Chains A and B, each alone.
Chain A
Amino acid sequence: MTAFLLRRLIQAAAVVLVMSLLVFLGVFAVGDPIEILISPEADQFERERAIKALGLDLPLWRQYLVFLGNALRGDLGRSFVFNEPALRLILDRMPATLELAVGATVAALIIGLPLGLYAGLKPNSPLSKGIMATSILGFSLPTFWVGLMLIMVFAVQLGWLPSTGRGETVTILGMRWSFLTRDGIAHLIMPALNLALFKISLVIRLTRAGVRETMLMDYVKFARAKGLSPARVTFVHVFKNILIPVVTVVGLEFGGTIAFSVVTESVFAWPGMGKLIIDSINVLDRPVMVAYLMMIVLLFITINLVVDITYSLLDPRVRLEGKS
């Protein structure tokens, strides 16, 4: 286990380093932040001052080394736009995005697993066929369209839910959370559901495929022949075995949701990290873009590690050994 973790950490460090270079070059290639940020009325003198103030007068390689040096000391730079540390800006926005991602993932599991299980156990019932047909919609409808439709129906027409924004928050551990207030939950429902739609469909399909495959296995036949109750066969013998692909996909999807819920966050004016990154890209706020992408790299590395460890807990045959 220790050797496995150590090797993973070294790999992670290498990936982070390579990514930092790629991200830096990519962000550099997009465009010139001064042209975007500076007031059009600024004269040449003022432009030169701003270029110097933001450190953009240095050649690229020196800008990268400065960034790397600061990053090693835990400083990912200051936002050009907000004049605040990029990392703090991102962390400020994190609770909002986490709420959304956790809400969507929980909804996906609560709704997706039972439906998928049912569709797998009774593949020929009309209800199963209905579930599978509907799940196609969940895959294929674009998020921004579904989001706008949700707003039109539930906020504009019916007036049940607030249209956009984040509700009232309470402060816990220095972070603002909205899922603990009534108003906060009301604001959370639509964006979380919008994000969950794709995931629900995914979980339904994975679960159904897993159940259908597992039901034909010898050990299931044996369990039934032994006279175990259908409930025990389903929930102990089948369910546990189909969870491995579901955990993998949901884990990676969770990371994707945190990192790239941009569309949902902008449609619902949800002040999360996705909104921050898209606003930052629009004004070429390089420090925030770089810090954000670096964080996402770390996030995915962590999630993969957690997924690997979860495997070993779910399936005793998987061993986290140092030897390959």
Chain B
Amino acid sequence: MSGFRHAAGLAAGLAIAASVVLPAGSQTLTMGVGAPVTSIDPHYHQLSPNTAVAEMIFSALTQTDAHARVTPDLAESWRPVSDTVWEFKLRQGVTFHNGSPFTAEDVAFTFERVPKVPNSPSSYAIYTRPITRVEIVDSHTLHLHTAVPYPLMPVDLASVKILDRETHATATTEAFNAGPMAIGTGPFRMVSHRNGDRIEFERNDGYFGARPAWSRVNYRMITNDAARTAALLAGDVDVIDQVPTSDLAKLRNDQRLTLAETTGLRIIFLSFDHIREESSPFVLDNEGKPVPRNPLKDVRVRRALSMAIDRNAITERVMEGAAIPAGQFLPEGSFGYVPGLNPPRADAEAAKRLLAEAGFPQGFRITLHGPNDRYPNDARIIQAIGQMWTRAGVRTAVEAQPWTTFVGRAARQELSAFLIGWGTSSGEASNPLRNLTATFDREKGYGASNRGRYSNPEADRILEQAMRELDDPKREALLQQATRMVMEDVGILPLHIQKNAWALRRGFTMDARSDELTRAQDVRPAAAR
């Protein structure tokens, strides 16, 4: 009897295996993505959905893996040959989709084109600008000269997709979108592109890297969350990204589906008004009159506000488990992560004591702003924080606005305290340190997204030292030091780091990427069980 049952189980297992493992080479993958792709030109508009599609068609000298570590792509190896010269050894025998060979000339051409793409609303030139001269040593060796030591070169170049001098000399953005110029060295060729609707790909059999499992890919843009989930449930698409946190539990229990999840690189944090010494626009005393000095400039007040927040309650209940509490920019395992730098334990009483010590025994009133259509559950998070702060004696009003309106106000320093997010696509700590918390400085290009205008000269100094340090362990130690200083000063108030989730039909599996990109080469048929 037991032998029979065993045999039956085995037969059923084989049947499942047979239905899952279809002959390789004849399969189509249909993907439903939540954010529209705006351009096929890889140098026109820096935006995650565009990057995802660009990484299917094109390649760069380097790439980042699912955990944001830099790995070889078109370059096989690289090293600094002096303080201001990086050497890149290129892969031999690579051809573009149209057969044109890939050489060092194409890299030089790409670096020339990047800053010159007309009308670009967000150029990739920030990655090529540190390069002062491109020296072609031989057809497959490059020397990149910089004015000052530049340790981020390999990371930065993962963002710059290489085009072909012969093919793309006069290519316009429109010609990429229309199709004829969408020629790269990547794992897929673009077959057709219907703006805002779908993109179709076929496998590039001449690809130098791992062969993708799909001969054809149908990449559909379904921006409505509920419709995207429905399309997956109806079997019209095989995988969806940006699974709404409210659907996670239901999809997890659905026998027809599996989830692919990973901790992301996007931190959600609060930013404070650091620019005003005197009264801040949305801080009032308990009688409703402006407070003569800006309490947010006092580190004790900022620490109290951080202590008053129960991050676990937010990640467990508001985010339904789709986030981890954060005490610094990046999750564990990232370059520059500081071991042991954890968020403070939630303690409303200790927060009250700290406020009293700072000269606000009766607390004060504040309006906390945030977007309501940008990050998962953004408006609900600031409501929860409002209640927690009020419990600690800071009576908080909450105002959530559409991103389009909110972000302009935040950038003009009109707000006192607001929630915002930051995705560190490069996965290393110099990126948030330079952009979010370094002193706003136009000449150096630092602090461009430092909307609260926090400034810590000592942390700036260490950061600048790190930015010239080519030795990785030394640089990491400096970045850790700067991160610790900013966090102990509560320059920003980190809340949580989001998890990224994809839902797939059973029979499919995927390498969940921490940088949120949804690419067909990361999806495979599940191995037979």
**Would you list which residues of chain B between 413 and 448 have a CB under 8 Å from chain A?**
422-423, 425, 431, 435, 442, 445-446, 448
Interface size (A, Cβ < 8 Å)?
Answer: 54
Chain A residues, CB < 8 A from B38: 81-82, 283
Binds A, one of B15-23, B219-227, B521-529: B219-227
Say yes or no for B234: interface residue by CB 8 A criterion: yes
Assembled-state Cα–Cα distance A44/B473 (Å): 30
Contact assessment for A159 and B234 in the assembled complex, using a CB-CB cutoff below 8 Å: yes
Say yes or no for A50: interface residue by CB 8 A criterion: yes
Chain A residues, CB < 8 A from B449: 40-41
- A45-B445, A148-B230, A156-B233 are contacts. A35–B408 as well, Cβ < 8 Å? yes
- A82-B38, A279-B196 are contacts. A269–B220 as well, Cβ < 8 Å? yes
Chain A residues, CB < 8 A from B120: 50, 53, 83
- A31-B404, A165-B198 are contacts. A81–B230 as well, Cβ < 8 Å? no
**Would you list which residues of chain B between 156 and 211 have a CB under 8 Å from chain A?**
173-174, 177, 194-198
Say yes or no for B123: interface residue by CB 8 A criterion: yes
- A43-B126, A80-B121, A269-B223 are contacts. A32–B408 as well, Cβ < 8 Å? yes
Minimum C-beta distance from B178 to chain A (A): 9
Chain B residues, CB < 8 A from A93: 196
Contact assessment for A39 and B46 in the assembled complex, using a CB-CB cutoff below 8 Å: yes
Say yes or no for B47: interface residue by CB 8 A criterion: yes
Minimum C-beta distance from A73 to chain B (A): 18
Minimum C-beta distance from B119 to chain A (A): 5
CB-defined interface of B57-99 with A at 8 Å, one 1/0 digit per residue? 0000000000000000000000000000000000000000000
Q: In chain A, what residue has the closest Cβ to B422?
A: A40
Chain B residues, CB < 8 A from A182: none
Minimum C-beta distance from A58 to chain B (A): 15
- A31-B405, A37-B45, A92-B195 are contacts. A155–B119 as well, Cβ < 8 Å? no
CB-defined interface of B468-499 with A at 8 Å, one 1/0 digit per residue? 00000000000000000000000000000000
Q: In chain A, what residue has the closest Cβ to B233?
A: A156
Contact assessment for B122 and A42 in the assembled complex, using a CB-CB cutoff below 8 Å: yes
Contact assessment for B121 and A45 in the assembled complex, using a CB-CB cutoff below 8 Å: no
Contact assessment for A30 and B196 in the assembled complex, using a CB-CB cutoff below 8 Å: no
Minimum C-beta distance from A255 to chain B (A): 23
- A44-B448, A92-B195 are contacts. A37–B236 as well, Cβ < 8 Å? no
Say yes or no for A208: interface residue by CB 8 A criterion: no
- A31-B407, A81-B38, A279-B36 are contacts. A164–B121 as well, Cβ < 8 Å? no
Q: In chain B, what residue has the closest Cβ to A279?
A: B36
Sorting the interface of chain B by its residue count into under 10, 10 to 19, 20 to 34 or 35 or more gives 35 or more
Assembled-state Cα–Cα distance A268/B236 (Å): 12
Say yes or no for A221: interface residue by CB 8 A criterion: no
Say yes or no for A197: interface residue by CB 8 A criterion: no
Say yes or no for B11: interface residue by CB 8 A criterion: no
Contact assessment for A162 and B448 in the assembled complex, using a CB-CB cutoff below 8 Å: no
Partner of B121, one of A32, A37, A279: A37
Contact assessment for A166 and B227 in the assembled complex, using a CB-CB cutoff below 8 Å: no
- A31-B404, A81-B45, A82-B177 are contacts. A38–B121 as well, Cβ < 8 Å? yes
Q: In chain B, what residue has the closest Cβ to A176?
A: B194
Assembled-state Cα–Cα distance A166/B126 (Å): 38
Partner of A164, one of B47, B126, B230: B230
Chain B residues, CB < 8 A from A34: 121
- A39-B122, A269-B223 are contacts. A164–B231 as well, Cβ < 8 Å? yes
Contact assessment for A39 and B442 in the assembled complex, using a CB-CB cutoff below 8 Å: no
Partner of A155, one of B177, B220, B230, B405: B230
Contact assessment for A36 and B220 in the assembled complex, using a CB-CB cutoff below 8 Å: no
Q: In chain A, what residue has the closest Cβ to B449?
A: A40
CB-defined interface of B241-253 with A at 8 Å, one 1/0 digit per residue? 0000000000000
Say yes or no for A84: interface residue by CB 8 A criterion: yes
Say yes or no for A281: interface residue by CB 8 A criterion: yes
Minimum C-beta distance from A167 to chain B (A): 11
Assembled-state Cα–Cα distance A83/B449 (Å): 25
Assembled-state Cα–Cα distance A275/B220 (Å): 14
Minimum C-beta distance from A244 to chain B (A): 38
Chain A residues, CB < 8 A from B234: 151, 155-156, 159, 162-163
Assembled-state Cα–Cα distance A35/B410 (Å): 10
Contact assessment for A36 and B407 in the assembled complex, using a CB-CB cutoff below 8 Å: yes
Chain A residues, CB < 8 A from B233: 156
Chain A residues, CB < 8 A from B220: 164-165, 269
Q: In chain B, what residue has the closest Cβ to A51?
A: B121
Contact assessment for B119 and A163 in the assembled complex, using a CB-CB cutoff below 8 Å: no
Say yes or no for B44: interface residue by CB 8 A criterion: yes
Assembled-state Cα–Cα distance A284/B406 (Å): 13
**Would you list which residues of chain A between 39 and 69 have a CB under 8 Å from chain B?**
39-47, 49-50, 53-54
Say yes or no for B282: interface residue by CB 8 A criterion: no
Contact assessment for A89 and B230 in the assembled complex, using a CB-CB cutoff below 8 Å: no
Q: In chain A, what residue has the closest Cβ to B445?
A: A43
Say yes or no for B292: interface residue by CB 8 A criterion: no
Contact assessment for B448 and A47 in the assembled complex, using a CB-CB cutoff below 8 Å: yes
A sample of 10 inter-chain contacts (CB < 8 A) reads: A32-B411, A33-B121, A38-B46, A47-B448, A50-B123, A82-B195, A267-B226, A267-B227, A269-B223, A271-B196
Sample of 16 further A-B pairs with CB below 8 A, known A36-B403, A38-B121, A282-B403: A41-B431, A42-B46, A43-B446, A45-B445, A54-B119, A80-B119, A82-B195, A163-B227, A163-B236, A164-B227, A165-B197, A266-B227, A269-B197, A269-B221, A271-B195, A283-B38
Q: What 4 pairs across the A-B complex have the smallest Cβ distances?
A: A43-B445, A271-B197, A39-B46, A37-B121
